[in-house]
Structure 1
C-alpha cells in the first residue's frame, strides 16, 4: 500500500485542538509538530504585527500514512476544522522505515 506524507500548517490558536484531534484518531499512529513561520502574499490573513514582521506564526504537523488513510484523515479534518485556515499538502513517499541498529 503506497504511503503519503500529510503536512498540515495550523494557526497557533488551533494547535492544541488539532494535536488532541490527531491523538484521538486510531488511524494516526503518531505525528510530529514544529513551530514554523509562514512567508507569502496572503497579508489579509495576517495580523498587523505579523504584517510588520513579514511572517506569520504557524505550527506544522506531519505524519506518514497509507494514502487512503491520509485522504480519510484530511476529509474528516476538513469537516471538523472547516474555516480554521489550516493549509495542507500530501506528498507521495517512495519508502518509509526505521534504521536497524
Structure 2
C-alpha cells in the first residue's frame, strides 16, 4: 500500500481544533505534533518579538496516511479550517513500519 506524509504548519490559534479534527478522522491513525519555528512567508499575525526574530512559533504536524485517502483528508481540512492560513505539503513515504 502506498503511503504519504502530510506536513502541516499550524498557528497556535487553531492548533487544538486541528489536532481534534485529526483525532476524529479514520485515515489519520498515526501523526505527530512538535513546536517549531516557521520562516519565510507567513500569513498569520506575528507578535513584535516574532517580527524582530524573523520567525513564527507554530506547531508542525506530520500525518502518515494511505495515498488513496489524500483527496478526502485535504478536502476535510480545507472545509473545517478555511481561511486560517494553514500551510501544508505532501511527500511520499519511501518506507514505514514498526520495529518490534
TM-score normalized by structure 1?
Answer: 0.88
1:11 aligns with 2:21: no
Q: Deviations over 1:12-68 (max 9, x none)?
A: 11110001111111221131000010111x266442331112110110111211112
Q: Residues of 2 paired with 1:15 and 1:8: CA distance? A: 10
Q: Residues of 2 paired with 1:13 and 1:84: CA distance? A: 9
1:95 aligns with 2:98: no
- Kept in 1, the 8 Å contact 2:43–2:85? The answer is no
In structure 2, relative to structure 1, the CA distance for the partners of 1:44 and 1:25 (3 Å cut) is: closer
Q: Residues of 2 paired with 1:44 and 1:58: CA distance? A: 12
Give secondary structure in 1 for the equivalent of 2:30.
coil
Q: Which runs of 5+ in 1 are unaligned?
A: none
Q: Which residue of 2 aligns with 1:76?
A: 76
TM-score normalized by structure 2?
Answer: 0.89
Give the RMSD, CA atoms, in angstroms: 1.5
- Equivalent residues, number: 99
Q: Residues of 2 paired with 1:4 and 1:74: CA distance? A: 12
Q: Residues of 1 paired with 2:6 and 2:91: CA distance? A: 7
In structure 2, relative to structure 1, the CA distance for the partners of 1:37 and 1:30 (3 Å cut) is: same
